[in-house]
Amino acid sequence: MNILLKSAVVIDPKSVFHQKTNDILITNGVITRIAPNLSTEKVDTVIENVYVSSGWADSSVCFGEPGYEERETLTNGMQTAAKSGFTHVLINPATNPITDTKSAVLYLKNETKNELTTAHPIGALTQGSKGEVLAELFDMKNGGAVAFGDYKKAISNNNLLKIALQYTQVFDGIVISFPNDSKIMGKGVVNEHISATKLGLKGIPALAEELCVARDLAVLEYAGGKLHIPTISSKKSVVMIREAKSKGLDVTCSVAIHNIHFDDSVLTSFDTNFKVLPPLRDMETVVALREALNDGTIDFITSDHFPLDIECKFKEFDHASYGTIGLETIFGILNQYVPLEKAVELLTAARQRFGIETQPIAENQQADITIFRTDETYLFENKHILSSSHNSAFLGETLQGKVIGCIANGIAVINEVN
């Protein structure tokens, strides 16, 4: 199949075509020509006036399968990722059974091997994600796991974190440590703020996150190794991570797209789609997180995509499950807060951190690209949801920019053709 991208602007600092406008011909998944004014003869699909970047990677997604197929199957989840512009996704061990063995990692790899989007399993750090005994980390690494962490569960045992950081150095592994002290969190369900008091909801103080971040960085400084702190939501977390980087510690962090878009004022509706972990913080914190995105302290953005069936959300706020989907909306939201090149950087930076091979956009290279436009705005509605579950916090929000499609692994998914 021949696809011609006419008047395409390349956004790829590693490419000689960066910020230049050219036509790009892709034949059977390979970039065969990049030049001005290529002929449209013998071309199956022509797409005009687009931007092209290296394929995006999301560092934190959940799909239900295995165990929770009613929420999202791997097939539908991977197709949703592809239509949302992601050629690579890191899949959390939020499954049943937990992804804590090499065979579980291989299951995810094998079930998705024919998809456009490549799955990169995150292995559980501890057996059953119970926080007691390290899982089979080296075996999972050999099976294709790119990092190790217990999804939405903090490492409560300080020594276990130390041993994990020391052990993973042997095979260049990455430890993921979710920062949330469950004892400090208690029965909290939203940000500890005046809005929580007005709503009569128990609050989660930022301290629950900050204590874990401080501990994690102290252990990292002692033990060495590679640490990733996912979905931070606190100003003090930003400051501590910035200082740790200035010391040369090997640490990265991410923020969830909903935590830079919403503040806790939206909770007045008691809409359980806004119940997320970490919780939505106050506007002052949201502004600080946006600044940290732009100054490079926060390394990449994530959808923290977590499909949930209606039974998990259609109940009292206190009892509803945490989580929102976000793959479909991440670009249209991020595009409103950072310049285009920064948006692409935040959407692709996880590739380098987690060892995903990346080649510059060039002739005779296998295509691994995302195609998008930036100028169109539209209201996000139920009809735009691609996931099996509809628990989106972004319903009714205005998005700016659209993913036109992506091409990878010799497969093309095009959402819109001129």
| Catalytic positions, written as ranges | 304
What sign results for the dihedral spanned by CA atoms 405, 146, 349, 156?
Answer: positive
- DSSP class of residue 46 equals E
Q: How buried is residue 144: exposed, middle or buried, by Cβ count under 10 Å (0-12/13-18/19+)?
A: middle
- Spatial separation of the C-alpha atoms in residues 344 and 12, rounded to whole Å: 8
d(CA 190, CA 174): 30
Helix axes 207-223, 235-246, angle to 10 degrees: 10
What is the rounded CA–CA span in Å between residue 185 and residue 249? 28
- Give the residues across from 324 on adjacent strands: 305
User: What is the distance of C-alpha 119 from the center of its chain?
Assistant: 12
Contact 307, 62 (CB under 8 A): yes
The residue behind tokens 């204590």 is: 211
Angle at 208 between CA 397 and CA 96, to 5 degrees: 70
Q: 79: burial class by Cβ within 10 Å (0-12, 13-18, 19+)?
A: middle
- Tokens 């890191």 sit on residue: 90
Instruction: Kindly calculate the radius of gyration of the chain based on its CA atoms and give it in whole angstroms.
Output: 21
d(CA 55, CA 87): 5
Number of CB atoms found within 10 A of residue 282's CB: 18
